[in-house]
Structure 1
Amino acid sequence: MRGSDYAPPMWLRSPHVQTLLASSDLRRRRSAQTLAATGAVTTAHLVDGGDGVRLQGHHSVVPGIEPRGLALLLHGWEGSTESSYMRLTAAQMLGLGFEVFRLNFRDHGGTHHLNPAIFHSNRIDEVVHAALDIAARFAPRPMLAAGYSLGGNFALRLALRAPAAGLQLAGVAAVCPVIDPSRTMLHMERGHRLYLRHFERTWRASLRRKRELFPEQLAFDDATLGLGMRELTDWLVRTHTDFGSLDNYFDGYSIAGNRLSSLQVPADILMAADDPVIPLDAFHDLTLPAHARVEISRWGGHCGFLLDHSLDSFAERWVAGRLSGHARAAQTSSERTRLAAAIRARPRSPEA
């Protein structure tokens, strides 16, 4: 664990300014323009999440180049492939010679119609299965992954499962990832109510849309939608999962303590000490292998890390730099392996 090089100007040192500007309409418009300026061709794809699950995403590649690898990007809760940080990170990766696949989680990015069952944060199996499908469709190696907030949690769990799943993952990067969901809930409840209210409002709209599409399977009433965050999550757990209790559900996708200690994939994590959504203390309690690093910045808010009035972000450059480094290391390792194999295969001169 070490400090981060990020240091914004004084007017950007409020965590609330950082967080709100990072998700502003101004930055959203700029992200669309920046991605378009790369000249990349972007196509929509339905990918296989296993057991009949369908997930949707967007693949981008700059014509005329041989990609150095494929970057899989994962958004946060109630975000989408079109979130500002997703587009801007994609633009950074494309500029470094990678192709990019931005994946929507179930019920995100207007994909509620694809699957009857509701999204929840323990649906990691379908993301692993989708990553395998994406890897099979696009040939360049290595494959890398990055995520923001809940997407960072998914990226790190994807890395944990990659070796057993047969997914060749060269490295991951996570920005302000959810580490301990139970602590995160408490942190939001005790902090500025703006963030809790935002997630309540967007989640209720998502559930309302889901009910409209699947009224027979999802016959919950408006009183249920009026519940607060903790109570609504408890309802979800009891009625739409097999976890039985809120504690079991939170434990199911927690990566706190020593749960990342068995990581075989190189990993980098960027966190802001002033994050108003994700509590910092869980990061200090992590037990990590030598090839996993945590960088803590004094400033940044939640997935902000804005640099100046242009609303460019240190985080998106950081992700691109870390993933590019992992790709370079994987390529070097692959070349050494091929060289060693070639040397072993050489015919030996007969002994005198």
Structure 2
Amino acid sequence: MSASLPEFLPSGPFRNPHFQSILASIPLRKPFVAHRARRLIDASRVEIITTGDGVRLKCLRARPAAAAPVAVLIHGWEGSANSLYMLSACSELYNAGFDVWRLQLRDHGNTHELNEGIFHSCRIDEMVDAVGEIQRLVDGRPLCLGGFSLGANFSMRIAARADAAGLALAQVVALCPVLHPPATLDALENGPASYNYYFMRKWRRSLRRKHRFWPHLYDLEILDQQRTMRALTEFLVTQCSNFPDLMTYLNGYSLLGDALAPLTAPTLLVAAEDDPIIPITELAQLARPANLEILTTELGGHCGYLYSSFGPTWADDVLIRKFCAATGYRPARRDAA
């Protein structure tokens, strides 16, 4: 455990990885988390970021009254700026005084009409450009980057490209990042059916929405014939994108091997040993640049780290501690008054 971070010590049912992983996104928590995040929600304004290639990505920005360090957070696959883990973390950062940007991936958060091409996880260039545009808009203030699950994977790949792109990242925190997509796909297919059902239901709904705006991209009848996550992924990346096969695509956003070797920004990777979706054994195959810190916890599930059903999480605290330490920022009172 990093000397500057508290150990995650949940009790009772919160020690169960499936309880953690499911509760993190369960709708039952929404009114309580939204109430706690009401200052963030009230302060947030839409910012459409346009990249050099003309891609448009939607952000929700909550800007404090005084100049402050910037926190950019990226949600997970089929999540959004309003996912509960995003609202929880971003509200804590905003209440602490940060200028908070909730950056959404293409085709997430009901933004399917903004860009013609479908989302896939190898679209890293547009995310690098988006963070660069945010850096320009905040006029050189210290910028920290964080992400959850697939958003954490994107955050680490952005960090690995930061020097080449001219990005100055004060700190990166990646929470439960997708490490090696083939292993994650195996875990989803072979693990509890509830996880596969959850993602497939949300993904199919998203693809139907995309089809309403861009009906020429794919045939819904053929799409509906793809009954498994593997088959649907393979169909989309080979028929609707420029990948020759499924494994080329999946390996294209893997963090293993030398993918992180160029990383120089201070980066914390947090992974739970009991994560039911991200096999922690893949950590052994990561490059270990000097500024990469890896923190493994015994418990936490997938993007859980909950102490209770409705309060702030251990992950929220980690983000604030690391971002404050990196920027020298002394946070304001962290309450929701």
Give ranges in structure 1 of 5+ residues lacking alignment: 330-352
Q: Would you say the 8 A contact 1:4–1:295 is kept in 2? A: no
The structure 2 residue matched to 1:58, chosen from 57, 60, 66, is 60
- Following TM superposition, the consecutive aligned residue runs of length 4 or more in structure 1 with deviations greater than 3 angstroms are 1-4, 37-40
Identity %: 38
Q: Would you say the 8 A contact 1:170–1:265 is kept in 2? A: yes
Q: Give the structure 1 partner of residue 255 of structure 2.
A: 255
Aligned partner letter, 1:221: L
Q: Give the structure 2 partner of residue 74 of structure 1.
A: 74
Q: Give the structure 1 partner of residue 50 of structure 2.
A: 48
Residue 12 of structure 2 is aligned to residue 13 of structure 1 = no
| Range 261-270 or range 1-10, more displaced | 1-10
Distance in 2 between the 1:320 and 1:82 partners?
Answer: 19
1:312–1:93 distance in 2 versus 1, CA, 3 Å: closer
1:157–1:7 distance in 2 versus 1, CA, 3 Å: same
Q: TM-score, normalised by structure 2?
A: 0.92
Distance in 2 between the 1:323 and 1:24 partners?
Answer: 28
Q: CA deviation at 1:273?
A: 0.8
Q: Give the structure 2 partner of residue 220 of structure 1.
A: 219
Distance in 1 between the 2:67 and 2:248 partners?
Answer: 45
Distance in 1 between the 2:40 and 2:131 partners?
Answer: 24
| Range 258-267 or range 166-175, more displaced | 258-267
The structure 2 residue matched to 1:24, chosen from 23, 26, 44, is 26
Distance in 1 between the 2:237 and 2:29 partners?
Answer: 35
- Counterparts of 1:64-143 in structure 2, within 5 Å, are 65-67=66-68, 69-139=69-139, 141-143=141-143
Q: Would you say the 8 A contact 2:89–2:312 is kept in 1? A: no
Q: Give the structure 2 partner of residue 341 of structure 1.
A: none
Q: CA deviation at 1:96?
A: 2.7
Distance in 2 between the 1:257 and 1:5 partners?
Answer: 29
What secondary structure is seen at the aligned counterpart in 1 of 2:328? helix
Q: Would you say the 8 A contact 1:70–1:140 is kept in 2? A: no
Q: TM-score, normalised by structure 1?
A: 0.88
Give ranges in structure 2 of 5+ residues lacking alignment: 330-337
Q: CA deviation at 1:231?
A: 0.4
Q: Give the structure 1 partner of residue 288 of structure 2.
A: 288
What secondary structure is seen at the aligned counterpart in 2 of 1:260? coil
1:309–1:268 distance in 2 versus 1, CA, 3 Å: same
**Alpha-carbon RMSD:** 1.9
Q: Would you say the 8 A contact 1:27–1:311 is kept in 2? A: no
Aligned length: 326
Aligned partner letter, 1:222: E
Q: Give the structure 2 partner of residue 230 of structure 1.
A: 230
Q: Would you say the 8 A contact 1:4–1:296 is kept in 2? A: no
Q: Would you say the 8 A contact 2:274–2:301 is kept in 1? A: yes
Q: CA deviation at 1:103?
A: 0.8
Q: CA deviation at 1:196?
A: 1.1
Deviations 1:176-199 (A, max 9, x none): 000100111111111111111111
Larger radius of gyration: 1
What secondary structure is seen at the aligned counterpart in 2 of 1:90? helix
Aligned partner letter, 1:66: A
Q: Give the structure 1 partner of residue 332 of structure 2.
A: none
